[in-house]
Amino acid sequence: MSESTNPIIQFDHATFGFPGVIALQDISLSIGMGEFVGIIGPNGSGKTTLCRAVLGLMAPLSGHLRIFDCACGELRCHHRAQIGYLPQKGVVDRNFPVTVLETVMMGRYGTLGLFKRTTKKDQAIALDALAHVAMDAHRDTALGHLSGGQQQRVFIARALAQQPKVLLLDEPTTGLDITTQHNVIELVAHLHKELGLTVLLITHDINMIRPHVDRLVLLKTRLFAAGPPADVLKPDILRQVYGKELVITGKDLVIVEDYHHHH
């Protein structure tokens, strides 16, 4: 496994799960500052567990996890506000009374801490975040009135409003049409370059992220492979993980399970 020069997330033989149920086993992985890492693997391979671990919502059963050089054995760690998180797309109730700007301002709350009120400066940061995702013209629109792709942009802006070092995205393209999926990934790639963010992107869609990532991490409870896309996306490695569900057509990889998942 390649050791990054300046690791900010470091798994050291870390195992996660509940007693009797192992979700991720013996993971050793370093993620360096400014890296764009794609996390892939079949359903139930532990992708979301990895995500929860990085967020500090889950402590390792054994082994260690250090984030920003902080041992996250204890939950509710101060590093959380430095990780901008985009959860798996839930359905936003069309009538939920919250505007775009109010949604993005929530990104400031964890950073501000208790008892502090938001100021003009926080609003400026939120508006700047909206400008980064090209949604500043919609600041007063009801969140529920936006399209799925626009809502994802707003949630990315909320993550940016935390002024994070790491952007963690859990399947950001699920449920979006193909053009919008591409737009969201292009936006993430652009933010990675422009803001120098470390990006961890969990996805089913290997082909979509392949051109943008520095490294791919392939999970199936254990860490199967990690490295540049060309090293990880080899038929023999992928067959071990996906089995018969993998079909290779020319340059593209089609994973049958995901094909069903999306259609």
Residue 248 CB, shortest distance to another protein, in Å, is: 36
CA distance 31 to 35: 7
- Which DSSP helix (H) or strand (E) runs through 229? helix 229-232
CB-wise, 140 or 236, nearer to another protein?
A: 140
Question: Could you tell me the two tokens for 234?
Answer: 């080899």
| DSSP one-letter code for 263 | -
- The three-point CA angle 106-107-112 to 5° equals 90
The reply to whether 19 sits near another protein by the rule CB under 8 A is no
Residue with tokens 């013996």: 26
The reply to whether 17 sits near another protein by the rule CB under 8 A is no
**Total Cβ atoms within 10 A of residue 25:** 17
User: 182 by DSSP, 3-state: which?
Assistant: helix
> What is the per-residue binding string for another protein in 154-173, x denoting contact by CB under 8 A?
--------x-----------
- Whether 63 contacts 27, CB under 8 Å: yes
CA distance 220 to 71: 25
* Contacting residue, 63, 87, 227, 229, with another protein by CB under 8 A: 87
CB-wise, 113 or 250, nearer to another protein?
A: 113
CB-wise, 21 or 114, nearer to another protein?
A: 114
The reply to whether 22 sits near another protein by the rule CB under 8 A is no
User: 69 by DSSP, 3-state: which?
Assistant: coil
The strand ranges marked E within 33-141 are: 36-40, 62-67, 70-71, 83-86
CB-wise, 92 or 241, nearer to another protein?
A: 92
Residue 80 CB, shortest distance to another protein, in Å, is: 4
* Contacting residue, 58, 85, 151, 204, with another protein by CB under 8 A: 85
* Contacting residue, 53, 83, 233, 253, with another protein by CB under 8 A: 83
The reply to whether 119 sits near another protein by the rule CB under 8 A is no
Report how far Cα 48 is from the mean position of its chain's Cα atoms: 9
Considering only residues 89 through 118, tell me which ones interact with another protein, judged by CB under 8 A.
Answer: 90, 95-99, 102-103, 106-107, 109-112, 114-115, 117-118
Residue 113 CB, shortest distance to another protein, in Å, is: 8
CA distance 97 to 6: 43
248 conformational bin, left if phi > 0, alpha if psi -120 to 50, beta if neither? beta
CB-wise, 52 or 262, nearer to another protein?
A: 52
CB-wise, 101 or 238, nearer to another protein?
A: 101
Binding residue count for another protein, defined by CB under 8 A? 34
Residue ranges in contact with another protein by CB under 8 A: 55, 57, 76, 78, 80-81, 83-85, 87, 90, 95-99, 102-103, 106-107, 109-112, 114-115, 117-118, 140, 142-145, 162
